[in-house]
Amino acid sequence: MPELSDATYRQIAALMHETVGLSFSDSKKALVSARLSQRVQQLSLDSFDAYLGRITTDADAAEFQVAVDLLTTNETYFFREPQHFELLEQELNRLRPQSLSVWSAASSFGDEAYSIAMLLSDLQQQGRLGSDWSILGTDISDRVLRSARQAVYPEARLRFVSPQRLKRYCLRGEGEAEGLVQIQDRLAERVQFGQLNLCRPIEPLGPFDVVFLRNVLIYFDSDTKRAVVDRVLALLRPGGLFFIGTAECRVPCATPLQSLAPGVFRRLPGPAR
């Protein structure tokens, strides 16, 4: 098993920070070593230095993406933090909009985006939302986006989906696919996915009425968090809802916000402070 030296670790950490904004303190060295060591062995490399050489060359951009995938945790499931979906439903019940544009800005495997789609589809069928609604899911990881587009999940990931929604929007696998669930095409087609680095200028998107940026800010240092949040909020309409993870505390940004509930904010009119 190769050993990750302090010097090489600092170079890997610096590369991840400069390119995708990931922040790894000295205390995360063991975690980085554990997540990358198996990959180093799979490539038959004799050191982490050799692996660093691989991911820093333009010719091996694909391997850099593999490293990013390994260093970011993508644990997720449908209707995670259900109070956020309840608040969104209450807000839409109040407004009854005819159109709605939602952005899942760190969509991972798509659980969040398809959860939102289930809720919006229900509201449309009940006459509480117009038919002109759409969801965009973005992530930096090409691997998780490919999985999201396939829209196939282990049953355990849908443990908080009601039996009624499972019947309306999902197909259960049989035979070799037993234990898997596929999102029905009529719902999946309402969700689009694309690759996006939140730490770089964002191409023209939006504007959006609702933005979810949950459980991703934990990977960034304070300066990067502030830049990412303001960059994302620039695409949220004044009055729109902004969701972060309930454990991510007060959101650092210059954009004026009103706190509504843990992890939920409304963007206020006016320029960034």
Q: Based on the domain organization, do 48 and 105 belong to the same domain? A: no
Give the confidence band of 143 by pLDDT, cuts at 50, 70, 90: confident
Specify whether 41 is located in the same domain as 160: no
Tell me the C-alpha distance between 157 and 86, whole Å.
19
Residue 45 domain-assigned (yes or no): yes
Confidence band of 58 (pLDDT split at 50, 70, 90): low
Residue 194 lies in a domain: yes
> Is residue 165 domain-shared with residue 246, that is, in the same domain?
yes
Strand-pairing partners, residue 135, are: 102, 191
Residue 57 pLDDT grade (very low, low, confident, very high; cuts 50, 70, 90): confident
pLDDT tens-place string over residues 116-129: 999 999 999 999 99
Same domain? 61 vs 92:
no
Q: What percent of the chain has pLDDT over 90?
A: 71
What is the set of active-site residues?
A: 35, 139
Q: How confident is the model at residue 62 (pLDDT cuts 50, 70, 90)?
A: confident
| Overall domain count for the chain | 2
**49 with 117, same domain?**
no
For residue 54, the domain's CATH number is 1.10.155.10
Say whether pLDDT at 204 is over 90: no
Q: Is residue 24 part of a domain?
A: yes
Q: Are residues 26 and 89 in the same domain?
A: no
Same domain, 190 and 111: yes
What is the b/e burial string over 159-174, where b = at least 16 CB atoms within 10 angstroms of the residue's CB? Answer: eebeeebbebbbeeee
77, part of any domain: no
Residue 200 domain-assigned (yes or no): yes
pTM of the predicted structure, to 2 decimals: 0.86
Let me know if residue 272 belongs to a domain: no
Most confident of 58-72, 93-107, 197-211: 93-107
| 20, 101: one domain | no
Q: Residue 70: what pLDDT? A: 87
pLDDT value at residue 135: 98
33 shares a domain with 140:
no
- Domain housing 51: 6-71
End position of a domain, from candidates 15, 47, 71: 71
Strand ranges for the chain from DSSP E: 99-104, 132-139, 152-154, 170-172, 180-183, 191-195, 208-212, 236-243, 257-261, 264-267
Tell me, yes or no, whether 87 and 182 share the same domain.
Answer: yes
Q: Within 10 Å of residue 10's Cβ, how many Cβ atoms?
A: 13
In a domain, 44, yes or no: yes
pLDDT at 218: 83
Where is the binding site for S-adenosyl-L-methionine, in residues? 74, 76, 80, 112, 139, 197-198, 214-215
* Mean pLDDT to the nearest integer, 48-52: 94
Of the residues 71, 91, 115, the one at which a domain ends:
71
Q: Check if the beta carbon of residue 241 is closer than 8 Å to that of residue 273.
A: no
Nearest Cα neighbor of 142 from 195, 193, 188 is 195
User: Contact at 8 Å (CB) between 43 and 54?
Assistant: yes
Q: Which of 43, 71, 99 is the last residue of a domain?
A: 71
What residues form the annotated binding site? 74, 76, 80, 112, 139, 197-198, 214-215
Confidence band for 73, pLDDT divided at 50, 70 and 90 = low
How many Å is the maximal CA-CA distance in the chain? 62
Tell me what pLDDT residue 228 has.
Answer: 93
Asked whether residue 49 carries a pLDDT value surpassing 80, the answer given is yes
For the chain, what is the radius of gyration of the CA atoms?
A: 20
pLDDT in tens, 1-33: 789 999 999 999 999 998 888 889 899 999 899
Question: CATH number, domain at 109?
Answer: 3.40.50.150
In a domain, 76, yes or no: no
Instruction: Check whether residue 17 and residue 63 sit in a common domain.
Output: yes
Residues 46 and 172 in one domain: no
> pLDDT tens digits, residue range 75-104?
789 999 999 999 999 999 999 999 999 999
